[in-house]
Homo-oligomer: A and B are copies of this chain.
Amino acid sequence: MTEHFKPPTEAIIKDVLAVIKFDDRGLVPAIAQDDESGKVLMMAWMDSEAIKETLKTGTACYYSRSRSKLWRKGEESGQTQTIKDFRVDCDGDTVLIVVKQQGVACHTGRHSCFFKSINGDGIQVVEEVLINPDTLYKK
């Protein structure tokens, strides 16, 4: 278990943004790992605004490429991610957030998005649905 996340100051956030190498769309891949289970939950993208918001609020915010806007994870589904640790890799081109996941990370209702395992037996679903996805996205 990681300790409580202490949000950085504006000056530190500026330093962080200077370290991160955004791609030609202004995005960087962000991996979310569960603090308790250690499982890799999902991979999404962040732009500089999403990183600022994530660091300031201590709650994961991504950039939705399909909707072309900030995606406050859980804003619809309630399945928010509280930041426990925020990491940047050696090259500054990938972010890793260690999170306390409220409920499930995957829109299918599974703990992790990486529920398809490939081996000699084929493509197998290895995680069960924990929450009915219909209850996650009420219309």
Contacts and interface: CB of A to CB of B under 8 A. Distances in A.
B43 A8 contact: no
B117 A89 contact: no
A47 interface: no
B42 A89 contact: yes
Identical copies in the complex: 2
B123 A40 contact: no
A91 interface: yes
Contacts of A94: 42-43, 113-114
Interface of A: 5-9, 12, 15-16, 19, 29, 31, 33, 38, 40, 42-43, 55, 85-91, 93-94, 96, 106-108, 110, 113-123
